[in-house]
Amino acid sequence: MSIETTRRAALAVLSLTFAAWWRPGFSAPAELRIGIKKGSFNLVVLKQRALLDKRLPGTRVTWAEFPAGPQLLEALAVGSVDVGATGDSPPVFAQAAGKDLLYVGAEPPKPDASAILVKPESPLKTLADLKGKRIALQKGSSSHYLLVQAVAKAGLQWSDITPVYLPPADARAAFERDSVDAWVIWDPYYAAAEIAGNTRVLVTSRGLTGNNTFYLASRAFATQQGATLQILFDALSEADALTQSQRKETAQLFSDFSGLSLATVHRVLARRQPSPVGPITPQLLAEQQRVADAFHRLGLIPKPIRVADIAWQPARIAQR
């Protein structure tokens, strides 16, 4: 089957899905505000290709960019955006802080898209060598859970390391000037550092974390605009199908948006599997509960939480 035939088949399925979720009298919002990060590949392609325009012709789509998931979810919690995508840890910290958000969708895991980086000449060779070291990471991000798991696998205590909490750009600067011994980071920052050189991968997230991507929305938006969310997810899955079938064009679009080199974007694509947006499954909730429990055991969140309490479970709004 040709790539074009595969793409058309995928779009046909998406059209059927869209029709199944449409209901008579549906009213799209006047504005849809989407939070976006450099690592939100499907959202970037969606934006650059204007794929929502044909699906929500009466809606003004606006975009706000954030350096990482924690900042995005803070904006979501205060009503500055309606929906956005993050890794596994930001929703756990947000829920523990009492933010009224819901998990509304997810992409498949990307186990090779995050890593702990050290310098090529670093004496750190194993996870056990992290003991006593200063490690840069974004607090409350997917990197946080990766480091938690890495420390545990090494048989160390959290108190055996010194986390240095910095957003990605500042963390890279600290890493490059040797102010820290290691840096925990995700794509595309990870790929950019690899392409620039002077890094070595100590370990990736494979075998340590699911490294899932979640879409979140405010409870009010999900309740009132469930059909809009389904339209958004169909468009995101279309964006992913186009990414798979038109890699060269997509790489250029992503480079234009992010300012990253084409070599960096192709490195990201090389370890990114097909990532259509799907529902929140019991398996995903179980994985997220393990994330939450790990953070609570270490005292990194102030109270235990039940992840399933903030999972969106919409009823079908149209008869098949």
The answer to whether residues 14 and 155 belong to one domain is no
Asked if 131 contacts 160 with a C-beta cutoff of 8 angstroms, the reply is yes
Q: Which of 181, 204, 227 is the last residue of a domain?
A: 204
State whether residue 69 is helix, strand or coil.
helix
Q: What would the pLDDT profile of 239-253 be if each residue is shown by its tens digit? A: 999 999 999 999 999
Range with the lowest mean pLDDT among 10-24, 65-79, 154-168, 303-317? Answer: 10-24
The answer to whether residues 167 and 247 belong to one domain is no
Is 101 a residue whose pLDDT tops 70? Answer: yes
The answer to whether residues 60 and 138 belong to one domain is no
Residue 193 CB partners (closer than 8 Å, separation 6+): 117, 172, 175, 183, 185, 199
- C-alpha to C-alpha distances, 107 to 161, 188, 242, 292, nearest whole angstrom: 31, 17, 16, 19
Cis amide leading into 188 (omega within 30) = yes
How far apart CA 257 and CA 126 sit, in angstroms, is 36
Q: Which of 177, 204, 231 is the last residue of a domain?
A: 204
Q: Is 298 among the domain residues?
A: yes
Is 173 a residue whose pLDDT tops 50? Answer: yes
Domain of residue 169, CATH code:
3.40.190.10
Average pLDDT, the chain: 91
Q: Is 319 among the domain residues?
A: no
The answer to whether residues 132 and 255 belong to one domain is no
pLDDT for 315: 57
- C-alpha to C-alpha distances, 16 to 27, 42, 54, 94, 231, nearest whole angstrom: 19, 20, 15, 34, 11
Q: Is 18 among the domain residues?
A: yes
Q: Is 315 among the domain residues?
A: no
Percentage, residues of the chain above pLDDT 90:
87
Q: Which of 204, 229, 263 is the last residue of a domain?
A: 204
Residue type present at position 170: D
**Residue 311 gets which letter from DSSP?**
B
The answer to whether residues 60 and 98 belong to one domain is yes
Q: Which domain holds residue 26?
A: 3-110+212-310
The answer to whether residues 230 and 84 belong to one domain is yes
Range with the lowest mean pLDDT among 54-68, 94-108, 219-233, 302-316? Answer: 302-316
Region 120-148: mean pLDDT is: 98
Measured between its terminal Cα atoms, the distance across the chain in Å is: 29
More confident: 130 or 22: 130
The answer to whether residues 276 and 292 belong to one domain is yes
Percentage, residues of the chain above pLDDT 70:
90
Is 314 a residue whose pLDDT tops 80? Answer: no
CA-angle at 121, arms to 117 and 127, nearest 5°: 45
CB-based burial, 49-79: b 16+ in 10 Å, e otherwise: bebbeebbeebebebeebbbbbbbbbbbbee
In the chain, the largest separation of any two C-alpha atoms, in whole Å, equals 64
Which candidate, 188, 208, 180, 187, places its Cα nearest to that of 119?
A: 180
Q: Is 32 among the domain residues?
A: yes
The answer to whether residues 53 and 164 belong to one domain is no
Which candidate, 48, 44, 95, places its Cα nearest to that of 73?
A: 95
Q: How many domains does the chain have?
A: 2
The answer to whether residues 260 and 240 belong to one domain is yes
Q: Is 318 among the domain residues?
A: no
pLDDT for 236: 97
pLDDT for 12: 43
